[in-house]
Structure 1
Amino acid sequence: MRTRPLKVALLGCGVVGSEVARIMTTHADDLTARIGAPVELAGVAVRRPSKVRAGIDPALITTDATALLKRGDIDVAIEVIGGIEPARTLITTAFEQGISVVSANKALLAQDGAALHAAAESAGLDLYYEAAVAGAIPLIRPLRESLAGDKINRVMGIVNGTTNFILDKMDSTGAGYQEALDEATALGYAEADPTADVEGYDAAAKAAILAGIAFHTRVRLDDVHREGMTEVSAADFASAKRMGCTIKLLAICERAADGGSVTARVHPAMIPLTHPLASVREAYNAVFVEAEAAGRLMFYGPGAGGSPTASAVLGDLVAVCRNKLDRATGPGESAYTQLPVSPMGEVVTRYHISLDVADKPGVLAQVATVFAEHGVSIDTVRQQGRPETGGEASLVVVTHRAPDAALSGTVEALRKLDTVAGVASIMRVEGE
């Protein structure tokens, strides 16, 4: 066994970084045995050096991350700062210094993953990022290694614990959106500013990463269609229950039927209660993978938090350190297919549309005509009078599969009808 330790620079020491440091210290002997050499925390770069960090030698703390990387003896850098800058510059600096990188930075990888992969490959170094998607759940490595010989056609999952907690509470207790969000905030599942979660930005970054790996093509964050879940209401859940469904915020990455393009999208959707994703509760994550040879696989577990995310970081650290000892590198970017990313308008799925309409004869015929004119076939219709509104009714239409562009045209035309007071809700129906 090699006796000189592999030296690690930890960039960032928040919730995840502090757990990484703790595990590296408490499990040092196990890590040494698994890697084949000692691994040593050589420095910790932070913004606020005065903050007390239990279990970390104060002598390791520095505010100069660049100087830490340029010391000349660092083997691996762990980046858990998050955001675009200074993380991007620091990772690039690490590669220039001959340092392999382990990152948990989904936003940066979704935006600049291709450039970072190219820099790592040019330097003959590793870039690992299991922790960037779904926390502790082993997902990245199975997609790019275990399923490397298979053809993946679809990846669909719940990849944000905050939104799943909120929607689960709305479903199980009948709470409204704000009430469920307040509970998530009180329990620490939601940030003080939950925008990145509830508006789907977090999930969209993860979808870009998953689509790129699954389909061997480059998918950037800008390629991902994104819709948040702040407009999901108790009425939507009531409609979903009548259909034998629930509502989840899903990240969906698909290969076109002809194999010539891919799509990536994030939005709330109704899914049947019989689908495995429907039973994912609280703040858990789950990702459903459909491959030609392997069939259907589901990966499930805690998708966030200090310890779960640190577990994924340490798994990558072991792999990267082993590669260092073997003077080898692991899998890099695989983008050989160069498939185009189709716009959302070409996505084909089913829809649940709730309309507020005049409660009088002929309205249903007018609505059905609009759907037919735009090539959207109706599956079921349910109409219920609402005496409290003084002559309005609620009309719920569930369609057969249709392109998103056709549905958008249908809704635009419906809004122009004198007999339609408003479009209360539009929800896609997935997983059937």
Structure 2
Amino acid sequence: MTRTPETPLPSLKERRRLREAQSLSQADVAAALGVTRATVRSWENGRTTPRGTKRDAYARLLTGAEEVTPHQENPAPALVGAATGPVQASPDRAEPAPEPPSETPPAFELAPKPDPELGPDPARGPEPELGSELSPEAEPEPLSPSLTPDQAFDALYAFCAPALVRQTYLLTGRRELARESVERAFQLAWHRWPEVAMDRDPAGWVRATAHEFALSPWHRLRPRHRNPEPPPAAPADRALLDVLLQLPPVYRRTLLLYDGVGLDLPETAAETEASTPAAANRLLHAREAVATRLPKLAEPKELHRRLAEVASAERLRAAKPTTVRWGGEQRARHWTRAAIAFTVVLIGATTLTLRTAPDHYEPPLAPGATVHGVPPRVAPGPLSAEELALRAKLKGETVSGPERLVPEAG
């Protein structure tokens, strides 16, 4: 049996050029193919690759063999299949089951949209320049090459940080840890800005870094994290957050990325560093656990809505981008000075050791040994009568006595 070769696709840069040459947006392509805008964006940046009928239709659309009307609302039935449908537990295929695309995009709108008649919410402060929701419909425009690194970083931070803080809060249930995780992620991004700026998905890079830092098990050793923070005020929000925090971290993160952020299953698996079947099984178990405790959230759309409400009810605010950049530079300088100081101490200890260490070999002294056969020393005892008489005779002789005692000159 011979396998049919897959339809060839243009290169990554050519895909976007062909789409723009036909005056089509990513939303137009997504509507025509029956997928989400996030999926089309993943196809263009190379994170995922279409397969089967989606691949054939995508190739025909790029080459102009298939006419597409911008914002087509009724795509062909053969191309219908949303990437955010319910996952069915099947032993042979743990992929999301296709369903017609809904009117509500699978975006993670973690903040309520302001009423144009009421103006922005004064409690939240000024709105970010590029929006605060990480959703396919709120995708930022490509940054101009003329922007400086500071401006490009500030634009990425203004677009990603507000929603990312709310996402991280759902992962940890801690407000301060959520803010700290996002700040640390952006500080690391600023430290590696050339790498992040050239990444296919800078927002995904920062999101993955923030989630990994927030779920680090070392936080439990910190004194300020031993005491729980006040729960949400609303009982329904508190119940949902308790259910989320009781899930294993990998299940919680998979549920948040798929049902919250709106990523498709391959993207969720890639970001959680798991295979697609493993990510599907985690998602199934997480949904089952939530539905067991909260039956009203068995529907994915309702779960998505409730996640957005719980996160946006806290009114979490991220720090200013200039503060984050300054903090990252200060941290980098601190660690650089610490590394230099450690190197100086190591060099000094090595030099002292070389100066004080012996420069030649000195054999050790042999241990002492017992000598046998030597008579013991005898202490002087009392004089005998003969010895006493001789001593008296010698003392009685004068200087001019016998010649044997004092010789005289001749």
TM-score (norm 1): 0.26
Higher Rg: 2
Q: Which has the higher strand share?
A: 1
TM-score (norm 2): 0.27
Q: Which has the higher helix share?
A: 2
